[in-house]
Amino acid sequence: MFDTALTTADLIFLAKGAGMTILVTAISVAIGTALGIAFGVIRVQFGAALTAPLTFVLDIFRSVPLLIQLVLANAFLGMVLKLQLSGFFVACMVLSLYTSAYCAEIVRGGIDAVPATTRRAARSLGMSWGQDMRYIVMPLATRVALPSWIGLALGVMKDSALVYVVQVTELLKSTQILITRLQEPLFLLMIGGAFYFLISFPLARFGGYLEKRWSND
C-alpha cells in the first residue's frame, strides 16, 4: 500500500483538478449569491402570488438532479442553439443558477427573520426603503443567513464534482483519470477525498460556530 506509482507530474495534475474545482466553485458561488440575493429580495418584496413563476423556476433547480441540469443545458446550448460554448462556461452557468435557487431561499429566510415592527420603526423614522434594507435588514438578516450560506457554498463545492459531464476536468475527474492509469483506487480516492474534507470541514465548523454565537438565545 505504501508503494505507489504516483509521480510528481501526477500530483501536479491532481492540483490542477483541485484548482478547477475551486475556480468553478468560486465563480458559481459569487454569481449565484448575487442572483440569489436579487431573487430573494424580489420574492419578499412582491409577495408569493406575484412571484409564483420565479418560485416555480427556482424550485425546478432544486428538484431535478444537477447531473440532468448540466446535460440538458449542454444539449440545449450546443445542439439546439448550436452555440460553441466551453464546458467550463456551461458548468459555471448551471452551477450559478443552481446556487441562486438555494441562496434565494436562504435570503428570504433571513429577511423574514427581521421583525416587521423593526422595519416599520425604521420607515417611520423617515428611512427610505433602500436605507431600511441597507442599515436595518441587511445586518440583521446576515446573522441568520450567513451560517446557511457557508453550508450552501460548501455544498456547491461538493456538487461541483458533477461538472465532469460537460468535459470539465475537476478534482474528482482527474482522480478518476489517474485511477484508470495507475490502478490504485483506494490511495488516489483518499487523496481526492482528503482535499474536499480539508476545505469543507474547517469551514463547516466555522459556520456552526457562527450559528451558535449569533443565535438570539
- Binding residues for other proteins, rule: CB under 8 A, are 60, 63-69, 71-72, 75-76, 79-82, 154, 158-159, 161-162, 172, 176, 179, 184-187, 189, 192-193, 196-197, 200-201, 204
In the complex, minimum distance from the CB of residue 196 to other proteins, in angstroms, rounded to a whole number: 5
In the complex, minimum distance from the CB of residue 129 to other proteins, in angstroms, rounded to a whole number: 33
What does the alpha-carbon distance between residue 188 and residue 190 come to, in Å, rounded to a whole number?
Answer: 5
Helix axes 66-75, 87-112, angle to 10 degrees: 130
Coil vs helix vs strand at 215:
coil
**Choice between 114 and 171, CB closer to other proteins:** 171
**Choice between 21 and 96, CB closer to other proteins:** 21
**Choice between 85 and 161, CB closer to other proteins:** 161
In the complex, minimum distance from the CB of residue 55 to other proteins, in angstroms, rounded to a whole number: 13
Quickly tell me which residue has 446573522 as its cell: 143
In the complex, minimum distance from the CB of residue 186 to other proteins, in angstroms, rounded to a whole number: 4
Considering only CA atoms, which of 137, 155, 157 is closest in space to residue 145? Answer: 137
Q: How many Cα atoms sit within 13 Å of 197 on the Cβ side? A: 6
**Choice between 116 and 186, CB closer to other proteins:** 186
Considering only CA atoms, which of 69, 8, 19 is closest in space to residue 174? Answer: 19
**Choice between 139 and 185, CB closer to other proteins:** 185
- CA 65 to centroid of chain Cα atoms: 14
1, 15, 16, 174, 176 from 181: Cα distances, Å: 17, 17, 17, 11, 9
In the complex, minimum distance from the CB of residue 48 to other proteins, in angstroms, rounded to a whole number: 17
